[in-house]
RNA sequence: GCACCCGUAGCUCAGCUGGAUAGAGCACCAGACUACGAAUCUGGGGGCCGGAGGUUCGAAUCCUUCCGGGUGCACCA
């Protein structure tokens, strides 16, 4: 894998610092973390800028300016460098030669769909758990955002060299799957011909359990129609959960998502994993038997003090210790979840959980648990994904959970398409609430980021046809020296892609890719627009074939970067826009 | 009451884990196109980055505290 432009300059800097240390101009053995090479906001400050002198000056107790001058001298000798300036408190601003940017363009064309890949995650396995919707019904839009964010993040981590495990945790051990089983039993009796009227309050009312009931009726006849619950609960539960998981997998497939692993809460319990975790923690005094304070706020009337096995999460920053077992000896959700993270940490170096923001209150305890269980050695991030407000032309879409008429993921995908859904879910950082308006997400205007980016790609694709019509053969080695300033500006933007990818992966923020693509598309459209006024500046300019070839080469490379970004988001590039 | 998330232009949001004069789109204002490579373009106005302290060469970013909004508080999942 070729090294990115930014990485290359970080390397140049490192060697410059080595030289200073050899020449005793500078103490050896200093940390070099915090050194950055980035594109300055203001183009007048050059193509690349580094804070190295200021950071190192602080660490070594010297003045940044002289240090910057020395580093600048070394950088100025590099072939790609046109000019180096030391300004302000000690910024080193670097301007690259035009040739350096033309070379970068050739790198894009050469690396194709590998452009932007990074080795920062090499040798690391990261387990990312996402979706993990309760297996009690089809996926609705509440699950959608976490699914897309998780999948895009997984793509991003794989692209940056990590080995990625996509995992789904099936909550199939709690009370709600018993409710599911009872709901299926209701549908089962209906399938047998009983007319039961409205489904009881508290059961799942949706129609999606009717096929499950029918299948159960076909298999068991009326054997369990009037049987006591203990006879059928486990059977119905297993059947209903399996059916729901099948539905959920289908829903996920509509989004283009497939998990590598499905971990079952019930299996973990059956395998004694929580017991193992408890024993491990008791041996380290991380679990003790104690009595919790009554909950604050809403006062529960049936609160009773009772001794339970508690995890010492307060030692790790939680507000109170947390019960891992219930009074009946069974496991709490947290007790199993803790064991589950213990298991996940066995074959991964880093863990990520993607959760709905409604679980924000339980983040501290699981972070505490992960820290205790991995003895602080493994990075663990819980990413909270905020709600999506569904709108239709500005009006909130009415949903009633009781009636079971929530908007399903499948419905939305059917209406606007997978790519629109995926793109939109990544146009905000995960922690911020988002509006999803059915009307605007399919609008063909520049206000719609999906359209805007796709349109740029389609325009690029159309160039190939226009070139052919004009009788321009692309050839394989255009003279890139024919590309002028505005074209190179676009190259500079595209060349940021590798660094954006690395930063997005490190921060676990896939939305940055979407914003980058919007910017890149905007720059591309801007360049295109120059051609509107002046035919000599168009990509296809039959009066000058060499220039046309160089520009088409540029456009093709930009298209490549757009595709690479979209691929990370899990969005298919559009080759031709449909005329509205 | 406590915890977490959010607070940036009139609106919707970025802001590259501490960098230089805080950005984009919409909206607003002023111009441009006998177009179809205009499913627009160019320029402009608009900011106490919620407030106040602190850390340092340097803060929207980190710390403290307060204010406002959202979410959650378990022996549910």
- What is the SS3 assignment for A444-457? CCCCCHHHHHHHHH
Which residues of A in 32-61 have their CB below 7 Å from strand B's atoms? Answer: 36, 38-42, 44-46, 49, 51, 54-55, 58
In this structure, what DSSP letter does residue A209 have? G
Which residues of A in 169-228 have their CB below 7 Å from strand B's atoms? Answer: 171, 173-177
Range with lowest mean pLDDT among A42-51, A137-146, A467-476? A467-476
* CA atoms of A219 and A191, how far apart (whole Å): 12
Mean pLDDT confidence for A49-54: 90
* CA atoms of A548 and A531, how far apart (whole Å): 12
The segment(s) of chain A belonging to CATH 3.30.1360.70 are 5-96
Span CA (A482) to C1' (B75), Å: 73
A507 touches strand B (CB under 7 A): yes
pLDDT in the model for residue A532: 81
Range with lowest mean pLDDT among A83-97, A206-220, A306-320, A435-449? A435-449
User: Please, where are the H alpha helices in A403-538?
Assistant: 409-416, 418-425, 449-469, 485-494, 497-507, 511-533
The interface predicted TM-score of the complex, written ipTM, equals 0.92
Nucleotide nearest A310, CA–C1', reads B75
Tens-place pLDDT, residues A322-376: 999 998 899 999 999 999 999 999 999 999 999 988 888 899 999 999 999 999 8
Nucleotide nearest A336, CA–C1', reads B77
Residue A390 has pLDDT above 70, yes or no: yes
pLDDT in the model for residue A301: 58
Residue A580 has pLDDT above 50, yes or no: no
HEC states along A56-74?
HHHHHCCCHHHHHHHHHHH
Span CA (A509) to C1' (B50), Å: 25
Residue A399 has pLDDT above 70, yes or no: no
> Model pTM?
0.95
Span CA (A507) to C1' (B4), Å: 19
- pLDDT tier, A165 (very low <50, low <70, confident <90, very high otherwise): very high
Residue A259 has pLDDT above 90, yes or no: yes
A580 touches strand B (CB under 7 A): yes
The segment(s) of chain A belonging to CATH 1.10.730.10 are 449-569
- pLDDT tier, A405 (very low <50, low <70, confident <90, very high otherwise): low
Span CA (A122) to C1' (B23), Å: 34
CATH class of the domain at A449-569: mainly alpha
By the 8 A CB rule, do A494 and A425 touch?
no
Residue A300 has pLDDT above 60, yes or no: no
CATH class of the domain at A5-96: alpha beta
Per 3-state DSSP, what percentage of chain A is helix, strand, and coil (rounded to 5)? 50, 15, 35
Residue A401 has pLDDT above 70, yes or no: no
A500 touches strand B (CB under 7 A): yes
Q: Is A554 exposed, middle or buried (0-12, 13-18, 19+ CB in 10 A)?
A: buried
Mean pLDDT confidence for A367-389: 91
Point out the residue nearest to B36 (C-alpha to C1'). A532
Q: Which nucleotides of B are covered by protein (CB under 7 A)?
A: 1-7, 12-26, 37-42, 56-58, 70-77
Span CA (A343) to C1' (B13), Å: 39
């Amino acid at each position: 894998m070729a090294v990115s432009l930014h990485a290359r300059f970080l390397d140049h800097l490192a060697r410059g610092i080595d030289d200073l240390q050899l020449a005793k101009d500078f103490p050896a053995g200093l940390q070099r973390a915090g050194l950055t090479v980035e594109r300055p906001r203001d183009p007048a400050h050059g193509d690349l800028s580094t804070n190295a002198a200021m950071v190192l000056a602080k660490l070594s107790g010297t003045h940044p300016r002289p240090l910057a001058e020395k580093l600048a001298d070394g950088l100025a000798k590099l072939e790609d460098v046109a000019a180096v300036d030391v300004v302000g408190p000690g910024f080193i601003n670097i301007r690259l030669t035009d040739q350096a940017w033309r070379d970068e363009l050739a790198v894009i064309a050469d690396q194709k769909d590998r452009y932007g890949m990074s080795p920062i995650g090499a040798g690391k396995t990261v387990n990312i758990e996402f979706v993990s919707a309760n297996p009690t019904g089809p996926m609705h839009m509440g699950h959608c955002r976490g699914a897309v964010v998780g999948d895009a993040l997984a793509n991003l981590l794989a692209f940056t060299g990590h080995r990625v495990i996509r995992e789904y945790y099936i909550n199939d051990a709690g009370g709600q799957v018993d409710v599911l089983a009872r709901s299926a039993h209701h549908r089962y009796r209906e399938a047998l011909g009983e007319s039961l009227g409205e489904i009881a309050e508290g059961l799942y009312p949706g129609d999606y359990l009717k096929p499950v009931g029918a299948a159960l009726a076909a298999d068991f006849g009326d054997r369990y129609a009037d049987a006591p619950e203990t006879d059928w609960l486990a059977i119905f539960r297993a059947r209903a959960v399996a059916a729901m998981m099948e539905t959920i997998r289908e829903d996920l497939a509509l989004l283009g998502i497939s998990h590598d692993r499905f971990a079952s809460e019930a299996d973990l319990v059956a395998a004694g994993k929580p017991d193992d975790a408890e024993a491990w923690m008791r041996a380290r005094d991380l679990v003790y038997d104690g009595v919790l304070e009554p909950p604050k706020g809403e006062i529960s009337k049936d609160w009773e003090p009772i001794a339970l096995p508690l995890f010492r999460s307060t030692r790790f920053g939680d507000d109170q210790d947390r019960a891992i077992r219930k009074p009946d000896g069974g496991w709490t959700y947290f007790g199993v979840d803790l064991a589950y993270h213990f298991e996940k940490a066995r074959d991964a170096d880093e863990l990520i959980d993607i959760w709905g923001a409604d679980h924000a209150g339980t983040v501290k305890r699981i972070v505490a648990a992960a820290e205790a269980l991995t003895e602080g050695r493994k990075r663990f991030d819980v990413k909270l994904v905020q709600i999506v407000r569904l709108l239709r032309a500005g009006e909130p879409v009415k949903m009633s959970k009781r009636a079971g008429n929530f908007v399903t993921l499948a419905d939305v995908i059917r209406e606007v398409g997978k790519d629109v859904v995926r793109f939109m879910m990544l146009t905000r950082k995960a922690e911020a609430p988002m509006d999803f308006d059915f009307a605007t997400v399919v609008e063909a205007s520049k206000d719609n980021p999906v359209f805007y980016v796709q349109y740029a790609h389609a325009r690029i694709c159309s160039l190939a046809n226009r070139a052919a019509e004009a009788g321009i053969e692309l050839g394989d080695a255009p003279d890139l020296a024919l590309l002028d300033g505005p074209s190179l500006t676009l190259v500079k933007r595209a060349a940021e892609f590798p660094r954006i990818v690395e930063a997005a992966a490190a921060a676990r923020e896939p939305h940055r890719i979407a914003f980058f693509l919007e910017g890149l598309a905007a720059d591309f459209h801007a360049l295109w627009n120059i051609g509107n006024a002046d035919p000599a500046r168009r990509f296809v300019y039959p009066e000058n074939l060499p220039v046309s070839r160089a520009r088409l080469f540029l456009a093709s490379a930009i298209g490549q970067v757009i595709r690479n970004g979209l691929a990370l988001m899990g969005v298919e590039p559009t080759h031709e826009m449909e005329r509205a």
